[in-house]
């Protein structure tokens, strides 16, 4: 599915909802033991290799970046939305956050000890996913782990409001773990594990662990 203007739409939408999004999800991870466990496993994989920075790409208001720092990783956040980065810096003043785009990360080759894309590929159209994964491959050190979290399933739908009823204009893309795995392998990654979480009958999260 091609979505012209998706970057501008995503940036504007998340600038609009940044404050309400942060308020609604600030403590969400406390009630998600499976997700905390998944992040703990990612942290263990990072710590098994030489020290280095870990990027939370599509970090939003920084809640997951802060969690990674709290469990011992040298994590920093990158997000397309300046509004989200402003909130992240406000809520987590001691951490590093920067505006950036996952289709062209301003990071050096092989500079990261790990990379997390936590439900941040959900607005990336199918034809742009290989571009993003090529960037992830470029910035990761050989052997470094990657964790991708996403809405599992099939199909796309247009989201026109959210997080307090604010206007949005973004497509939410659902993918199977098999499809994400195929994309990762085509980009040169070695996939190590696929997981599915069903917090409610109609909400499914997919998680794929890989390394460069």
pLDDT value of position 167:
93
pLDDT value of position 164:
86
Q: How large is the greatest C-alpha to C-alpha distance in the chain, in angstroms?
A: 44
Given pLDDT bands bounded at 50, 70 and 90, which one contains residue 201? confident
CATH says 6-211 is which class? alpha beta
pLDDT value of position 202:
80
pLDDT value of position 1:
61
Residue position matching structure tokens 């199977």: 176
**Residue 2: pLDDT over 90:** no
Count the Cβ atoms, other than its own, within 10 Å of residue 28: 10
Query: pTM of this prediction?
Result: 0.95
CA distances from 101 to 7, 87, 181, 204 (A): 9, 17, 22, 26
**Phi/psi at 110 (nearest 5 deg)?**
50, 40
**Residue 135: pLDDT over 80:** yes
**Residue 200: pLDDT over 90:** no
Contact status, residue 43 vs residue 71, Cβ threshold 8 Å: yes
Residue-wise pLDDT for 55-113, tens only, equals 999 999 999 999 999 999 999 999 999 999 999 999 999 999 999 999 999 999 999 99
Determine what percent of the chain is predicted with pLDDT higher than 90: 94
Residue-wise pLDDT for 8-51, tens only, equals 999 999 999 999 999 999 999 999 999 999 999 999 999 999 99
């Amino acid at each position: 599915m091609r979505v012209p203007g998706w970057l501008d739409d995503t940036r504007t939408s998340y600038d609009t909802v940044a404050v309400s999004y942060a308020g609604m999800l600030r403590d969400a991870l406390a009630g998600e033991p499976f997700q905390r466990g998944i992040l703990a496993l990612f942290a263990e994989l990072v710590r098994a290799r030489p020290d280095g920075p870990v990027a939370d790409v599509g970090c939003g208001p920084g809640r997951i970046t802060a969690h990674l720092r709290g469990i011992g990783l040298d994590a920093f956040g990158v997000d397309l939305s300046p509004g989200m980065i402003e909130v992240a810096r406000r809520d987590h003043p001691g951490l590093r956050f920067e505006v950036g785009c996952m289709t062209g990360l301003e990071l050096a080759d092989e500079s990261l000890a790990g990379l997390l894309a936590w439900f941040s590929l959900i607005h990336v159209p199918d034809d742009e996913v290989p571009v993003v994964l090529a960037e992830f491959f470029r910035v990761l050190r050989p052997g470094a782990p990657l964790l991708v979290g996403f809405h599992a399933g099939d199909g796309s739908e247009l989201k026109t409001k959210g997080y307090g009823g604010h206007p949005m204009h973004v497509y939410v893309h659902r993918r199977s773990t098999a499809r994400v795995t195929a994309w990762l392998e085509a980009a040169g990654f070695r996939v190590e594990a696929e997981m599915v979480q069903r917090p409610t009958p109609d909400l499914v999260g997919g998680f794929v662990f890989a390394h460069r």
